[in-house]
Amino acid sequence: MNYTLLKFYILTCCLTFISCNVKTQINPQINKEPQTEKFNIIFLIGDGMGLSQLSSAYFYGEKEPNFSRFPFVGLSKTRSGSHKITDSAAGATAFSTGKKTYNGAIGVDMDTNAVETISEELAKNDWSIGFVSTSSITHATPASFYSHVSSRLMQQEIAKDLVYSDVDFIAGGGYNWFINRTDSLNYFDSLEQKGFFVDTNSVLTLPDNNQEKLAFLLSPDGMQAKHLGRDNFLSDATVRSIEFLNNKSEPFFLMIEGSQIDWGGHANSSEYVIQEVLDFDLAVGAALDFAEKQGNTLVIVTADHETGGFTMAAEQGFGPFMTITRDYNKLTPVFSTGGHSSTMVPVLASGPGAEKFCGIYENTKIHSLFRQLTNMNSQK
């Protein structure tokens, strides 16, 4: 990390603490009003979205990003149980189970034992559950919430786990893992037998009947990249899933992933990254629009890790005698790696309990806060 970036991080941390402390002192009653609406959680994961990726929305977007609407900010330390640099499987399993595990692990601990996930636990307590992703819905991040396999590569097994898990709404790519399988099984049939309306066209398709569950599997594997023409799938799916889940009498837990911020980072393509971040920000806005109106929904935005060592650096040139010049008014997005990096990632929080997400902590704390807040708010 260069010195300027380090200073930026230190400043951000200081501002974070100041912002959190000031808010608590000014209004100690914040979020303490009696709530009548059911308590929900919307958990948005920008895969690979470090602070620079998030910042790109402020330089390349046309309006103030929805990220600015969060009153509380923290930083999450992302290392996995096996490596200083995590992958998405271990990163999401930390959120879903509270366990640091090895890179590649899906919903299992260091010894490959299955660990109950937050969404499984909430489903047992009659919460409705939804997953939205711009990757295959069987990809590492969503899979870590409903599947328990030793490797993220076992996508056929992961698809089977999804069919037999307690989930009410899914939207993303990956239908090949359900219907074009090496074992010739047809898991669309199984989904329909379980009460799902299954559609492969659009997340806006209306079911013929009042099906209890909805599954939108819209591409053979990952969805199209935003900069190559993906439509408003992510924000449409966000609105659709919230409407559908909120119509039920139970509270809901909804995980929404902007999967391809990570893929842009791996490709070292700043256009790919930035378009995915801006698209993710629209989904964040849709979630906040609902939460602010409903009044008792916690919205958390974070990342599993940073990807690409992405930085918006100053444009460099050469002055007299081959001295290097830098134009601080011209940004040049650069990458330091084609892989992930170890940097901390932002956590943005809004809604009941949001102030607890301030500070610097391990990614597993997000799981423990979800548990703490749902027990506090559950009607058991």
As annotated, the active-site residues are 88
Closer by beta carbon to Mg ion, 47 or else 161: 47
Alpha helices in the chain (DSSP H): 3-26, 51-60, 88-97, 118-124, 140-146, 155-163, 176-179, 187-193, 233-246, 260-266, 270-294, 364-377
Closer by beta carbon to Mg ion, 261 or else 298: 261
Whose CA is closest to 68, among 242, 234, 301? Answer: 301
Show the site string, 18-47: x = touches Mg ion by CB under 5 A, - = not: -----------------------------x
Near Mg ion in 189-248, by CB under 5 A: none
Show the site string, 251-280: x = touches Mg ion by CB under 5 A, - = not: --------x---------------------
Containing 82, the helix (H) or strand (E) segment is none
Site for Zn ion contains 262 (CB under 5 A): yes
Cα–Cα distance for residue pair 102/80, rounded to 1 Å = 6
Rounded to a whole number of angstroms, the minimum distance from the CB of residue 339 to Zn ion is 7
Site for Zn ion contains 281 (CB under 5 A): no
Residues 6 or more apart whose Cβ sits within 8 Å of residue 232: 282
Beta-sheet pairing, 311-318 with 340-341: unpaired
Rounded to a whole number of angstroms, the minimum distance from the CB of residue 201 to Mg ion is 24
CA 73 to the chain's CA centroid: 16
Closer by beta carbon to Zn ion, 236 or else 262: 262
Rounded to a whole number of angstroms, the minimum distance from the CB of residue 265 to Zn ion is 7
Rounded to a whole number of angstroms, the minimum distance from the CB of residue 95 to Zn ion is 15
Closer by beta carbon to Mg ion, 141 or else 270: 141
Show the site string, 46-65: x = touches Mg ion by CB under 5 A, - = not: -x------------------
Q: Are 179 and 187 in contact (CB under 8 A)?
A: yes
Near Zn ion in 297-316, by CB under 5 A: none
Rounded to a whole number of angstroms, the minimum distance from the CB of residue 374 to Mg ion is 23
End-to-end CA distance of the chain: 48
Residue 360's DSSP bridge partners are: 75
> Site for Mg ion (CB under 5 A): which residue of 80, 88, 93, 311?
88
Paired tokens of 239: 């609105």
> Site for Mg ion (CB under 5 A): which residue of 40, 56, 96, 141?
141
CA 123 to the chain's CA centroid: 19
Closer by beta carbon to Mg ion, 174 or else 352: 174
Sign of dihedral through CA atoms 226, 242, 33, 95? negative
Residues that bind Mg ion (CB under 5 A): 47, 88, 141, 259
Residues that bind Zn ion (CB under 5 A): 262
